[in-house]
Amino acid sequence: MMIEAKNINFYYGNFHALKGINIAIPANTVTALIGPSGCGKSTFLRLFNRMNDTIENAKLTGECLVNGQNIYDKTVQVDALRKNVGMVFQKPNPFPKSIYENVAYGLKVNGVSDKKYIAERVEQSLVAAALWDEVKDKLHQSAFALSGGQQQRLCIARALAISPSVLLMDEPASALDPISTSKIEELIHGLKEKYTIVIVTHNMQQAARVSDKTGFFMYGELIEYSDTKKMFLNPENIQTQNYITGRFG
């Protein structure tokens, strides 16, 4: 199992945001997390690269394992963890630097200085993010010159450059138009050969299209977690059925 959660409870102050979550996500799969707003799916996603660390009054119990290692263990260095567990955000957030510098950034902050190696990784990452052909002639132009969809693929390339094994995506296509969305989905589908991907999405069709496994969250609980095919054809739980058929709420 690439990612495992064992009896996770998470609190924002007095608010019990995640309630006893257990999940085991195999390597080289795409797992979609769906559920209504405020159900805890994003909070859960952020546990795995410890993006919740800076939140005040937050409390976590239980174990989060990545590759068998409890990532909240005291011996774990958080920046090393984040190098291994990349993240792509809802809104494309390229830095105000050139396309090249954006992709090279992660390598540089992690102490890579071999220019030849950086150049290789930049190209490989842009190829992997299906962006190379569109930007290879303007690598040194500002990343802001790209369209929203291209920017998001640049952010994916940026995350891939530091060779993570896990990629967390927080609604990566919700700010994009349908064509860009479908490109991102296609990309996600192709990336699972090398990476383990967990994607939070509001779009159930998107979850169905891109994922192998789906987890349904509601009120901080993981209601159902199973193969996407099974979830969308024959969900076990009546709440899941009500949600995915649009009868909920």
Partner 1 sequence: MFSKNIQQKIAFHIFRLLSFSILGVLVWILGFIIYNGIQVINWEFITAFPKEGMTEGGIFPAIIGTIYLVIGSMMFAVPLGIMSAIYISEYASNQKWVKFIRIMTNNLASIPSIVFGLFGMALFVHTFGFGDSILAGSLTLGILIIPLVIRTTEEALKAVPESYRLGSIALGATKFQTIKNVVFPIAFPNIMTGIILSVGRVSGETAPILFTVAAYFLPKLPQSIFDQAMALPYHLYVIATSGTDIEASKPIAYGTAFVLISIVLIINLLAGWIRRYFEKQNPK
Partner 2 sequence: MKHTELEIQELKIQVKQMWNLVIAQLSKTKIALLENNTALALEVISQEKRVNAYELKIESDCENYIALYSPVAVDLRLALSLIKVSNTLERIGDFAEGIARHTISQECKTIDVKIIEDLGIEKMIDIVLEMLLDGYIAFETENTKLTEKIMSLDIQVDELYKNGFYILAEYIKENPLETMCALRLIIILRKVERIGDHCNNIIEDIVFYVDAEVLKHNNKTSLK
CA dist., res. 129 & res. 184, Å (int) = 9
| C-alpha distances in Å from residue 77, one per residue of 4, 16, 71, 118 | 19, 27, 9, 23
Reduced DSSP (H G I as helix, E B as strand, rest coil) percent helix, strand, coil of the chain, to 5? 35, 25, 35
CB of 42 to partner 1, least distance (A): 12
Residue 189 sits in the site that holds partner 2 (CB under 8 A): yes
Q: Which does 229 bind (CB under 5 to 8 A by kind): partner 2, partner 1, none?
A: partner 2
Contact 106, 121 (CB under 8 A): no
| Residue of 48, 100, 195, 232 that binds partner 2 (CB under 8 A) | 232
Which of 9, 182, 239, 242: binder of partner 2 (CB under 8 A)? Answer: 182
Residue 189 CB, shortest distance to partner 2, in Å, is 5
Residues 178, 186: Cα–Cα separation, whole Å: 12
Q: Which does 219 bind (CB under 5 to 8 A by kind): partner 1, partner 2, none?
A: none
Cα dihedral 136→93→36→243 (10° resolution): -10
Q: Which does 49 bind (CB under 5 to 8 A by kind): partner 2, partner 1, none?
A: partner 1
Give least dist CB 131 to partner 1, A.
17
83 binds, among partner 2, partner 1, none (CB under 5 to 8 A by kind): partner 1
CA distance 68 to 166: 13
Site residues, partner 2 (CB under 8 A): 182, 186, 189-190, 205, 208-209, 228-229, 232-233
